[in-house]
Amino acid sequence: MATAPSDPNRVAPVGQPHEDPAAAVCPPADLAPAVILRPSWWATFCAPYRFIFQPRRAAATMVAGPRWAAWLALGVGIILIVCLTVGATLWSKTVTVEWDAASDAAGLPIPILQERSLEEAWAQWRGESAAAAAVRALLYGGIPVLLSAAFMAWLQLPRVHRSGRTGASLLRAFFGVVSGIGLLVLLVALLGAVGAVVQNNQDRQMGAASVAMLPEVFSFVVALGYFAAVLGLIFWVECACVGARDSGPTGSPSPRCERCGYDLTHVPASGRCPECGTDVQAMLVPGMRRPGCSWEESPGALTWRDASLALLFRPSSFYARLQVWTSDTMARRFAAWHYIVLFVGATLWGNLVAWRMWGAMSTLWSAVVVYALVIPLSCLLAGWGIQRLLAAVVGSVWLVGGTMPDFRPIWKVLSYETAYLWVFVVYDGLLMTSLFLFGDWMSALVVSITGTTTFRGVPESLAVLLGNGVLCALWLWRYRLACDAVRWANF
């Protein structure tokens, strides 16, 4: 089947000129960040702090720089985090409340306010050995940071890996994650200070007047700040890992049969695949087999809606038409809009629940903060975690099995699969709403049928666990469909 290189019907490899433009595979757009010069050790060390508001640049610098300088930046960041955490803890210990065994006229224990200096709090905290206390603080602070960074790197591996050794890609993902150590230091300093001030204020009020406390809503606002900080850090890491991608050659592999993967480099454009008999021209003419996604061609509300519906109900057809070798910028924007709409929808639902449930809380504002802000943010965090965890599991299986010759098409799949989160939202939203409105109606139904209360609370737990487990299994199946559709894509 092979022909001479001068044959005008020969299908040239991607990126090389071809006598017949209609039969050549279009060179894909650049999917990787721009190549940067190897930075100095000082630039690498300062990158997490210098580019604290430029995540992609910080990650690209950390990945391209000397490894020892990147490790040094991580070590210094861990030491700063430990020092700030210990400092905030000691600050909160300068004001404490102890309860006297004696009781007041109402029979309640009497609070006794205790105030001490930072030096006294430090002496009490460190014990007899300052060195042992420092080692203990580094272990308790450093190990969680390292384990969290390693876990986040594994979650981001499918979005960073391209081809080649998995270990090298995992290291790139790790340094992409730890490039956010500067932002983490800033957040620990701010949140630690706020937490210490709130704790001391509460202790002073409790010690001054036995029942005086800060308003309930204030504690919820602080909790909301912690949620926002976590989500902000996750968003930062998501952006940074795009900058940690391999910046090597951007050409796609040789032209392949999209049905069986046979190399079509030397197969005439007017022929058929020698392996499965599929028409070659249909697979190699731009726009003929893969016309693309309407959202990428003309982004807007209507095309976003149409693409989302196609993804939810016809995933195989959507990915069979998707051009995967173009930039994934629009795919990431598609995912971002889904998260925004999900948050808005969860907020509206939370406000309705707050209006229905606020009587069970001390103030309406407390109900609004909990049900309209904390719960929607928790839903976003849970949705992101489920999506990244399943993607990491699937990506690891594909890496071990060598299923995907190049992971760049998967970058788009991961972003577009965000639409499937709506299935979880609908199922869990309806389930939670029914429980809010009608209480433990499932248990009541079981009791009415069986006449026993032994299994009270079990039906609700099974509905949550088994229902979401089935949805996760369906998501894994969707990834399989996507892999089959984009594995040998030529566009």
Interval 144-155 mean pLDDT: 91
341 in Cβ contact with 431 (< 8 Å): no
pLDDT in tens, 449-488: 777 777 777 788 888 899 999 999 999 999 999 988 888 8
Band the pLDDT of 72: cuts 50, 70, 90.
very high
Question: What is the tens place of the pLDDT at every residue in 270-293?
Answer: 778 887 877 787 777 777 778 888
- Tens-digit pLDDT profile for residues 37-57: 688 999 999 999 999 999 999
Q: Of the candidates 330, 173, 335, which has an alpha carbon nearest to the alpha carbon of residue 241?
A: 173
Q: What percent of the chain has pLDDT over 70?
A: 79
Tokens standing for residue 80: 């700063």
| 61 pLDDT tier (thresholds 50, 70, 90) | very high
Q: pLDDT digit string (tens) for 165-190?
A: 888 889 999 999 999 999 999 999 99
State pTM to two decimals. Answer: 0.79
The tokens 């600050």 sit on which residue? 91
pLDDT of 137 > 50? The answer is yes
- Number of H-type helices and E-type strands within the chain: 19, 2
Angstrom CA distances, 267 to 22, 28, 251, 260, stand at 15, 21, 20, 14
The whole-number pLDDT of residue 218 equals: 65
- pLDDT at residue 338 in the model: 93
The per-residue pLDDT for range 84-126, each reduced to its tens digit, is: 888 888 888 887 767 665 555 555 666 677 777 777 777 777 7
Provide the H-helix boundaries in 244-324.
280-284, 294-297, 301-313, 315-321
Q: What pLDDT does 421 receive?
A: 92
Q: Is pLDDT larger for residue 447 or for residue 48?
A: 48
Alpha-carbon distance 270 to 275, whole Å?
A: 15
What is the model's pLDDT at position 293? 87
Average confidence (pLDDT) over 131-159: 84
Q: What is the mean pLDDT of residues 120-145?
A: 75
What's the mean pLDDT in 245-269? 72
Residue 366: pLDDT band (50, 70, 90) is: low
Q: What is the percent of the chain where pLDDT is above 90?
A: 25
Higher per-residue confidence, 346 vs 415: 415
pLDDT given at position 213:
52
Give Cα 36 to chain centroid, integer Å.
26
- Residue 177 is predicted with a pLDDT of 93
Rounded CA separation 227/348 (Å): 18
**For residue 426, how many other CB atoms are within 10 A of its CB?**
11
**Residue 363 reports pLDDT greater than 70:** no
pLDDT at 70: 93
401-423 mean pLDDT: 86
**C-alpha dist (Å) from residue 260 to 180, 275, 410, 412:** 42, 7, 18, 21
pLDDT computed for residue 320 by the predictor: 87
Residue range 22-40: average pLDDT?
A: 48
Mean pLDDT of all residues in 319-327: 86
**DSSP for residue 40:** P
Residues 6+ apart with CB under 8 A from 307: 293, 294, 295, 318, 334, 416, 419
Least confident of 155-159, 220-224, 287-291, 346-350: 220-224
Per residue in 379-389, pLDDT (tens digit) is 888 888 899 99
Cα–Cα distances (Å) from 24 to 14, 252, 258, 284, 487, in that order, read: 8, 13, 15, 6, 19
